[in-house]
């Protein structure tokens, strides 16, 4: 299966997409800095931008999917797309919200610990997480 077919298949899971969009709507506030780890085609990053996030960075290691995101206009909508492992990423300021969906591996990604360590380094101590049903309540 091609990368594009894989991502197109993910977009067909409307229940999953809706749950994430609802969580983003409950968590992202106008003016927030948002980091999406494994940004793919930029679906969730765009949703964060539409919620009023001041800065949205979507990081992914797949150059092909990032090229498709650019073709879809994700950068023109104000999302910064970065090709890099999140462990190497630097942000100008810490994220208020981190979006990360480990779909496909169901939490078995070998580098999951280093991903979460990077997310902690790149975000504020009070940051919100998506997905996390109580993330809107966690932020102060």
Q: How big is the CA angle at 44 (ends 103 and 129), to the nearest 5 degrees?
A: 75
According to the model, what pLDDT value does residue 3 have?
67
Assess whether the previous peptide bond of 131 is cis (omega < 30° from 0).
yes
Element (H, E) at 36: strand 33-37
**pLDDT, position 107:** 54
- pLDDT tens series, the chain, 140 aa: 456 677 667 677 788 889 999 999 999 999 999 999 999 999 999 999 999 999 999 999 999 999 999 999 999 999 999 999 999 999 999 999 999 986 555 555 677 889 989 999 999 998 888 986 444 444 44
For residues 114 and 13, give the distance between their C-alpha atoms in angstroms, rounded to a whole number: 28
Q: Which domains does the chain have, with CATH numbers?
A: 3-138 (3.40.50.150)
Global pTM reads 0.85
């Amino acid at each position: 299966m091609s990368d594009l077919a894989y991502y197109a298949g993910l977009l067909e899971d409307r229940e999953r997409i809706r749950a994430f969009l609802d969580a983003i709507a409950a968590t992202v506030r106008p003016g927030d800095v948002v980091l999406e780890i494994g940004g793919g085609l930029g679906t969730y990053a765009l949703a964060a931008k539409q919620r009023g996030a001041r800065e949205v960075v979507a990081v992914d290691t797949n150059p092909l999917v990032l090229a498709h995101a650019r073709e879809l206009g994700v950068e023109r909508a104000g999302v910064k797309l970065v090709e890099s492992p999140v462990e190497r990423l630097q942000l100008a300021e810490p994220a208020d919200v981190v979006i990360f969906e480990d779909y496909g591996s169901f939490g078995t990604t070998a580098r999951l610990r280093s991903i979460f360590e990077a997310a902690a380094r790149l975000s504020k101590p009070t940051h919100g997480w998506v997905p996390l049903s109580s993330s809107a309540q966690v932020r102060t």
